[in-house]
Amino acid sequence: MDSFMGNKIKYQKIIIIQIFVLFFFIAYPLSIFSQSDTTNILNKKISLNIKNGNLYDALIQISNKTGYNFSYNSEQISGEKKIKINVKDKPVKEILNTLLSDTTYFFKTIANQIVIYDKNDKNNLVQLNKDKLSYITIRGKIIDSKIHNLLPFATICIEGTNIGTISNTDGEFIFKIPNYIKNKNLSISYIGYKNLLTPLNQLTEYENLLMLESNVISIQEVIIRSSSPQALLELAISSIPDNYSTQPTYLTSFYRETIKRNNEYAAILEAVVNIYKTSYNSFSFDKLKIIKSRKNMNYLLMDTLIVKIKGGLRTSLMLDIVKNKPNFITPEYFHYYNFKIIDIIDFDNQSTYVIEFRPKKYVEDELLYSGKIYLDVNTLSIKKTEFWLDHEYIKKEGHLLVVKRSRKINVKPQKVIYKADYRELNGKNYLNFVSAYLELKVRKKGKLFSEKYNTLIELAVNKIDTNDVKRFRYRDIAKINKNFFDVVDGYLDSYWEDYNYIKPNESLQKGIEKLYRDK
């Protein structure tokens, strides 16, 4: 799926992260720990049998048995440490001492986490970020105020802050908001609609119905800078250093990938990730590490999956089209396209050009897309893109989208759609949401009927951090598609704790429930 950049992008090797670890580096006073809770959970007796594994495996099993997650400083404790253990009905604290083989470590709890820290080094006590220990939750649905259409993928944020989320395909959302900003306004923006501002203290925890008013802008009301959309795009490209961050940024994000076979969910992979987003005037690659993850798979369906779909976390990073420019916003390729300004609409309270583009003709060995670019009238910043491959290109160049494992199959891509949009904060634009959808048909030789596969990738940025941003350590960078752990005890929303996530739509929720019934 990441082939929209063709063969022009070279990826750096990405290495494994330490999974199931939340680590922070500012010390908290010991008074915040609950001794009674610690004693209860650490004295709980469990059994553990691992013949050939590592510390990650052990902590995950303990987490599944106790309902508590683990936090520790990965600079002190290696999750890849090889272990072998077989104990029955032993206290959690005793098992942890055996696993770590170091009596200098203490164990405390915060909320539903067991914190491991070195008593000799208080500066490296793991903390749950200030203000993360308590939050409020707002649930709701976003619709059109007149015809009541659902508004999917609306941007939802707290006015004047770096915290936000996205509505799902049903216009629904769940938003976790730190208590210290609970007196601010909820802001909702959507293409073609006026922004909605609502005080958080006027919203309830459940069933908030939020209605957006459409906003039609007359082209006559806006001064069009140029009759040439190509000229506008060239100005937009030259203005990237002014409109986007020229400093590295941390983007805490929620990632979801689903794979369906014949309309039945075969895999659901989800993670909270931290992205080291490099400067927009830099050629450096973005990096990613996983904070927390889970997967749910129908292994019977996956075992017979004969097609490897290009996609995943790598694609979500490459879909930042302002940084990784596809050919339709690369001036050297403009002669392949017809561009046209088809509308001016409201987006985030700003007048926005809608530029449509289509290939002039088929060009061999080039993937040429059709789509729309939304361009701020005043700043010429790219606010959103949606683009796809027309049937002609899918038919002739579809082989670039799929890697086949066997010559005994025939693969025909059917649909390819990409989306990316950006959010403005303090005068700069940051990646806000990306999605990629691929649909294909697969037929084995000798079989009469084809099977249908599709995959959907979504990544929503929930927090933007611009202070004290440092490169990830080499060993912490995520190894693509090897960082998702099986969910054992059911698909609970509480798994994500205070991290925001995209609420599953009705179809996905039913798929999740069926995957668990079939286990």
Which of the listed residues 220, 239, 256 is the one where a domain comes to its end? 220
* pLDDT score recorded for residue 283: 83
* pLDDT score recorded for residue 194: 93
* pLDDT score recorded for residue 63: 75
Which of the listed residues 220, 249, 279 is the one where a domain comes to its end? 220
The total of structural domains in the chain comes to 3
Which of the listed residues 220, 248, 263 is the one where a domain comes to its end? 220
**CA-closest candidate to residue 321, choices 286, 352, 291, 350:** 286
* pLDDT score recorded for residue 442: 83
Place of tokens 């990629």: 436
* pLDDT score recorded for residue 14: 25
What's the pLDDT tens digit per position in 33-53? Answer: 333 344 578 888 999 988 877
Please indicate, yes or no, whether residues 412 and 268 belong to a single structural domain of this protein. Answer: yes
Task: List the beta bridge partners of residue 272.
Answer: 254, 292
User: What six digits make up the tokens of 181?
Assistant: 């900003």
Please indicate, yes or no, whether residues 212 and 313 belong to a single structural domain of this protein. Answer: no
Residue 22 lies in a domain: no
Residue 129 lies in a domain: no
Domain that holds residue 403: 2-14+224-517
Please indicate, yes or no, whether residues 230 and 211 belong to a single structural domain of this protein. Answer: no
First-to-final CA distance of the chain: 29
User: What six digits make up the tokens of 84?
Assistant: 């072998």
Residue 108 lies in a domain: yes
Residue 238 lies in a domain: yes
Alpha helices in 381-496 (DSSP H): 391-397
* pLDDT score recorded for residue 509: 81
Alpha helices in 91-180 (DSSP H): 92-100
* pLDDT score recorded for residue 492: 62
Q: Is the dihedral of CA 193, 197, 200, 201 positive or negative?
A: negative
Please indicate, yes or no, whether residues 361 and 382 belong to a single structural domain of this protein. Answer: yes
Please indicate, yes or no, whether residues 120 and 164 belong to a single structural domain of this protein. Answer: no
Report how far residue 311's alpha carbon sits from residue 453's, in angstroms, rounded to the nearest whole number.
13
Alpha helices in 202-298 (DSSP H): 229-238, 240-243
* pLDDT score recorded for residue 219: 56
Q: Please tell me the pTM assigned to this model.
A: 0.73
CA 106, distance to chain mean position in Å, is 34
What's the pLDDT tens digit per position in 306-349? Answer: 555 555 788 889 999 999 999 999 999 999 999 999 988 989 88
Please indicate, yes or no, whether residues 454 and 339 belong to a single structural domain of this protein. Answer: yes
Q: Which residues of the chain register pLDDT less than 70?
A: 1-39, 69, 71-76, 79-80, 103, 110-113, 119-134, 217-227, 299-311, 400, 402-406, 480-493, 516-519
Report how far residue 150's alpha carbon sits from residue 215's, in angstroms, rounded to the nearest whole number.
16
Residue 130 lies in a domain: no
* pLDDT score recorded for residue 308: 54
* pLDDT score recorded for residue 478: 79
E strands present in 299-381: 307-309, 337-347, 350-359, 370-376
